[in-house]
Amino acid sequence: MTPAGLFFPPGLVAIAGAVLVPLLPRRARSAAFLAVCLLALALVFAIPDGASRTVRVMDYSLVLLRMDALSRVFGIVFALIALAGGIYAFHLKDSGQQTAALLYAGSGLGVVLAGDLLTLLVFWEVMALASTYLVWARRTEESEAAGTRYLLVHVFGGGLLFTGILVHLSQGGALEISAFAPGTTALGPWLMLAGILLNAACPPLHAWLPDAYPRATVTGAVFMSAFTTKAAVYLLLRVYPGWKILLVLGVMMTLYGVAYAILADDIRGILSYHIVSQVGFMVAGAGIGSELAVNGSAAHAYSHILYKALLFMACGAVLEATGRSKLSELGGLAKAMPRTLALYMIAAFSISGVPLFNGFVSKSMVLAAAHESHLTSAWALMMLASAGTFFSVGLKLPYYAWFAKPHGAAPKPIPRNMEFGMGLVAILCVGYGVAPGLLYRFLPHAAGYEPFTAAHLVETGILLGLTFLAFWLVKGLLKPHEKSLFDLDWLYRKPAGVVRRVFVDGLGSLFDRSERRIQRIVRGAAAFGRNPAAALLREKPAPAYAPDRYRPLTQLLVLLVLSCFLVLALLGLIW
């Protein structure tokens, strides 16, 4: 490692900006937000490979910054999407959301640039707290409840990670972040893996994502789509490459997310389930563990952050313009919002793996890695998931949102800066798809993958063509309608009423009764202290103490005390 010189950790720059922005005049906050993101992005590019910055805290050397190729590729896209999100949200004057977004982006950068487990843990927890506010900031009953569930789940996940770190250190493990050997029997790495997989939204630890993301603010969901799950992917690539269990879990994620996305009605809910599916490709790549697979996972995380943010931006624009987010309540938006439709379709083609868009390049790297490793079943299942992605995000969602029969009032215009933000991300989605070498130079390993082969183009064309034909044949059966979509969160949401009555309302009632009883005891003791005689005679209300009134009783008390003293004295003499 070489010293970082005068370079400041980019994550701390963004966090410092989160502190500064609320103190600025209202008109200057959005511009300051962009300036902070630009500075963080410039630092990620400028800090040389091998640079590190260490601070001493008690007996620990904490590495706040460690730059290498894997950290850089995630750092670039994290800072880049924070900048694009700032443009998209430029009209927003809510200092709380601006602060939370910068804090969220800064802690995400802190995770991917951290060099030790304790620094990682601190940024990990800050990331959870900041993102929770972006759900609560919508200020509805649903968002309040979803944000609370989101926070509780992530506190649990952070607890798993923290416990794993403590166990790992207690067993003589190093504080420095490094790869664990596949198949280790040590408990610490497995506990840490469970906490990381929760943030990666791996079923059955995924339900927090489609629960919270659709209920976040319009701009908050854009940031949330970028950082939490991809920070987890970064750690899987850094610490768990080649763990075969990740291949199994990743393939399962690709299919699980697609299946629920086809069933979902809320447009941001569809996109949320597709985060689960797309992150599955990255998790599977980490499980394969080859150089091509790691490159593919890193590249797909990079591409996914861009096109998923654009998808959430476009659907957020629909929500902003119409006040509605369910397919069953939308339709007829093509004439009113043609630019939003065009930008959405760029992202939809990207996530579907259409040639000349970035998802085509990155997803095919993971598929090629599975094929090279002779994992034919995994390759086939991920190809099926790719078809399902085009079916739901590339065809079903735009068809019923933009072209179906209109519902409700005409949409209102959206702020122009939202279109500018979407346009920037759309350019990147196309740019990296047309010229993948722009991304290859940042990948962890030397990349020689060529996506534009005749065989691959024909294969992709057949897959997309058959998927389009299948949609056209069954689109009448897919007409959206409002419904409750039960997921594994049912396991803890269904008994929530009983749990609340027993552990919240029941304990609260017990504490209230205990408090009232203690108050009565204290009041009685105070009354006895003011007038012991009246209390013994049970006079209510107790009159003020008067010596003449209670003198006989006082004499009796003195006589009893003296008698007890004499008895004790005699017993002492006898013994």
Banded pLDDT at 514 (limits 50, 70, 90) = confident
Residue 168 falls inside a structural domain: yes
Residue 531 falls inside a structural domain: no
Tell me the average pLDDT across 212-219. Answer: 94
The CA distance from 545 to 564, in Å, is 26
Banded pLDDT at 554 (limits 50, 70, 90) = low
140 and 234 belong to one structural domain: yes
Tell me the average pLDDT across 96-114. Answer: 96
Residue 462 falls inside a structural domain: yes
211 and 273 belong to one structural domain: no
Q: C-alpha 223: how far from its chain's center?
A: 9
For residues 296 and 362, the answer to whether their CB atoms sit within 8 Å is yes
Domain boundary among 422, 448, 481: 481
Banded pLDDT at 448 (limits 50, 70, 90) = confident
pLDDT at 544: 61
DSSP state of 176: B
Residue 566 falls inside a structural domain: no
Centre a 10 Å sphere on the Cβ of residue 570 and count the other Cβ atoms it contains: 10
pLDDT at 7: 75
Give phi and psi for 550, each to the nearest 5.
Answer: -110, 15
Q: What percent of the chain has pLDDT over 70?
A: 91
pTM, to two decimals: 0.85
pLDDT over 70 at 547, yes or no: no
205 and 316 belong to one structural domain: no
231 and 275 belong to one structural domain: no
Residue 37 falls inside a structural domain: yes
30 and 133 belong to one structural domain: yes
Q: pLDDT tens-digit profile of 161-202? A: 999 999 999 998 899 999 999 988 899 999 999 999 999 999
219 and 281 belong to one structural domain: no
Pick from 86-90, 192-196, 438-442, 510-514: least confident = 510-514
For residues 9 and 65, the answer to whether their CB atoms sit within 8 Å is yes
> What is the span of the domain harbouring residue 312?
267-295+306-481
Centre a 10 Å sphere on the Cβ of residue 26 and count the other Cβ atoms it contains: 9
Domain boundary among 456, 481, 506: 481
Banded pLDDT at 479 (limits 50, 70, 90) = confident
Q: pLDDT tens-digit profile of 53-103? A: 888 877 778 899 999 999 999 999 999 999 999 999 999 989 999 999 999
Buried/exposed 468-500: b ≥16 CB within 10 Å, e otherwise: eeebeeeeeebebeeeeeebebeeeeeeeeeee
Q: pLDDT tens-digit profile of 243-298? A: 999 999 999 999 999 999 998 999 999 999 999 999 999 999 999 999 999 999 99
Across the chain, mean pLDDT equals 90
Tally the C-alpha atoms within 13 A of residue 124's C-alpha that lie toward its C-beta. Answer: 28
Which residues, 6 or more positions from 415, have their beta carbon under 8 angstroms from its beta carbon? 90, 91, 320
pLDDT over 80 at 482, yes or no: no
205 and 285 belong to one structural domain: no
For residues 389 and 311, the answer to whether their CB atoms sit within 8 Å is no
Residue 526 falls inside a structural domain: no
Q: What percent of the chain has pLDDT over 90?
A: 71
pLDDT at 493: 66
Residue 541 falls inside a structural domain: no
Domain boundary among 481, 502, 536: 481
290 and 224 belong to one structural domain: no
336 and 394 belong to one structural domain: yes
Phi-psi region of 353 (alpha: psi -120 to 50; beta: other; left: phi over 0): left
pLDDT at 501: 75
Helix axes 95-113, 69-88, angle to 10 degrees: 170
86 and 159 belong to one structural domain: yes
85 and 220 belong to one structural domain: yes
pLDDT at 526: 79
Beta-bridge mates of residue 61: 56
Residue 571 falls inside a structural domain: no
For residues 315 and 344, the answer to whether their CB atoms sit within 8 Å is yes
Buried/exposed 408-441: b ≥16 CB within 10 Å, e otherwise: eeebeebeebbbebbbbbbebbeebbeebeebbe
Banded pLDDT at 548 (limits 50, 70, 90) = low
pLDDT over 60 at 427, yes or no: yes
Q: Number of structural domains, the chain?
A: 2
End-to-end CA, the chain = 82
Residue 232 in tokens: 């987890």
pLDDT over 80 at 540, yes or no: no
The CA distance from 245 to 226, in Å, is 24
201 and 335 belong to one structural domain: no
